[in-house]
Every structure is written in structure tokens, then in C-alpha cells.
Structure 1
Amino acid sequence: MRDEPPAPDDTDPDRDEQHGSLRPTSVAALAGWAVVGLVCGWAVHPISERLGTVAPVISWLQPLTLWLLAAILGFTAWATWRSVQVRQERLLAHQAVNRLVLARASAIVAALVAGGYVGYALSWLGESAEMADDRVLRSLLAAGGAVAAVVAALLLERACRVRGESPDA
């Protein structure tokens, strides 16, 4: 008995039936995850106060890590675009899929993280607590890095597109 690959899922909303390709990540999906992150990030401060614990302190490591992620994704997007569009080289199938999965996952998670940091920063506005201003500043810098990572991930997703594809593909 041979193991055969499963039949394609015809209910996948991201699947384009004509070309067998995926649609780009939607702005609505990214906005939805950002809103979820915003609510969760905002809730961290009041919940930690109710539990009698110290609210998390945002160090410089979090914003720097997110800006580094954005730089790595941006470089990967540039290198991929240059290979596919300028040199007109074909990516191996597994390379293209890996980069596309990396781009999608990074865009969604970075949108969630950006919303979380914005929500956390908003929860500290107007507070007179020690380090409240530091938490707001560092949270907003981390959110900026996450937004940059979203943009870089979307550019990587776009770089995986081959010539001749429609803009919706």
C-alpha cells in the first residue's frame, strides 16, 4: 500500500483555485491580531496589580531584538527579491515555501506583538508609578520594531512572488 499525499483542502480561503497559489496576507488578519495583542498587552498591567505582583519591566533588549528581527527579515526580503526579480533565478520549491512560511508567521506574530506593546504602553499612560515613563518609552520602541518586522515580513512575502503572477496571487 502506498502512502499518497492528502487531497488539497478546497475550503482554504487563502488558496487561489486558478493558479494553485496563496493570496498575500490580508491587512484585516494583521489588524485582527494587532487588536488581540492590544487588549492582552493592556490587560497585563491591571492584572499584575490585582494579583499583587510587579508589572513586567521592559528592558532595552526587547526593542533591540525586534529591530534586529526586522533587519534580518528586511535583508532576507531584499536578497530574495534580488534573486527572483533581478537575476531571474528560480528558488527551489522548499526554499520558496520556507521563506513564504517565515514571512507569514513573522507578519502575524509581529502584528500581535506590536499590539501587545502598544497596549502595555497605553496602560501606563498617566501613571505616577516608578519607571512608568520608561515602560511607555521602551514599549513604544518595541512596538515600532514589531511594526518594522511586519513591513519587512510583508516585503519578504511579496519577494517570493514570481513574475507574471497577478497582484492578488
Structure 2
Amino acid sequence: MPERPEDDDQQLGSLRPTRYATLAAWAAVGLVGGWFLHPVSELVNATAPVVSWAQPLALFLVAAILGVTAHATWRSVHVRRERLEPHRAVNRLVLARACALAGALVGAGYLGYALSWLGSRSELADERVVRSAVAALGGLATVVTALLLERACRVRNGPDQA
């Protein structure tokens, strides 16, 4: 087996940050899906889903957990200069990436669902708009805190990596 130069080893073990274009693509899919959920569900079931307060609260809970984890990771890696165990770093990076993508998809889905109810004279239209908009904000908070966690896991390149 031929030996590789040291520079190749460093390149093989690195990850790139989540691209904003990827997040935008997931958000676009969510927006379209949320928009079409309203007419399709009324066509199929004769009624559209009602958004309860549990959905937005769950998204804000996920965002809060990610925020606390990001803060703790940032303090460990960048302030105290502690070395994060490799499996913990990978777990946090996977969690951050998955939550960023899911938050973009779900948050934009709720936004699309809210937009589909604007101008509707349905009895629960206003309630669906408000709760879906709050859930969309929860999705945005999830994306932001996930990206902060991803950023907290970054280490400097060089011999004295944290």
C-alpha cells in the first residue's frame, strides 16, 4: 500500500460546513410541500390538519437543546481549549447537520402551510396561520442553533489543534 503525504491525511479527516444552498434547497422543498398540504388534504380527507401548540413548542425545545449544546461545546473547545473526543465531535456534527436540514425542511413546511391559509374564510384559518407561523419561527431557530453547534465544533488547523 503506497504511503500518502501528511497533507492528504488532514484532508481526508475534515468536513465542510453545511452549505447555505443546501439549506435553501431543503427549505424550498418544505415550502412547496407545506403549501400543497392544504389543498391536497382537503381533496383527500375533506379537512386540513390543525396545528396545535405542541408542534411549535417541540421545535423551540429542540432549538434550546441545540443552543445549550453549542454553548457548552464552544466553551470546551474554544475557551478552555479542551480536546473533544472524536466520537463526541462526530456525534455533535451529525446532530447539527441533521437538525439544520430538518429544521429548514420543517420550518419552511410550516411557513408554506401558513401562507396557504392567507385569505381563506375557513373557521380555523387564522388559528392555523398563527400557529404555523410560530412553528416556522421554531424551525428557523432550530436551523440557527444547529449551525452554531456546527461552528462550535470547528477546530483550528495546525499542530496545536484544540
Q: Could you say whether these structures have the same fold, taking a TM-score greater than 0.5 normalized by the shorter chain as the test? A: yes
Amino acid at match of 1:120: Y
**Cα deviation code 1:115-148 (max 9, x no counterpart):** 1001000110000101100100000000001100
Which residue number corresponds to residue 73 of structure 2?
Answer: 80
SS of aligned partner of 2:84: coil
Which residue number corresponds to residue 48 of structure 1?
Answer: 41
- In 2: Cα distance, 1:23 partner to 1:50 partner: 43
Amino acid at match of 2:116: S
Amino acid at match of 1:123: S
- In 2: Cα distance, 1:36 partner to 1:17 partner: 35
- In 2: Cα distance, 1:153 partner to 1:89 partner: 21
Shift of the alpha carbon at 1:50? 1.2
**Cα deviation code 1:15-73 (max 9, x no counterpart):** x9736301100000000000000011111110012114321100111111101110000
- In 2: Cα distance, 1:83 partner to 1:156 partner: 12
Task: Tell me whether 1:119 sits opposite 2:98 in the alignment.
Answer: no
Which residue number corresponds to residue 22 of structure 2?
Answer: 29
- In 2: Cα distance, 1:86 partner to 1:54 partner: 53
- Provide the aligned length of Structure 1 versus Structure 2: 150
Aligned ranges 1:90-105 → 2 under 5 Å? 90-105=83-98
Tell me the TM-score normalized by structure 2: 0.89
Structure 1 segments of 4 or more deviating over 4 A? none
Which residue number corresponds to residue 5 of structure 2?
Answer: none
SS of aligned partner of 1:38: helix
Percent identical among aligned pairs is: 67
Aligned ranges 1:1-169 → 2 under 5 Å? 18=11, 20-164=13-157
Amino acid at match of 1:115: A
Whichever structure has more helix as a proportion of its residues is 2
Amino acid at match of 1:40: G
- In 2: Cα distance, 1:19 partner to 1:94 partner: 16
- In 2: Cα distance, 1:143 partner to 1:61 partner: 13
Amino acid at match of 2:29: V
- Structure 2: gaps spanning 5 or more residues: 1-8
- Structure 1: gaps spanning 5 or more residues: 1-15
Tell me the TM-score normalized by structure 1: 0.85
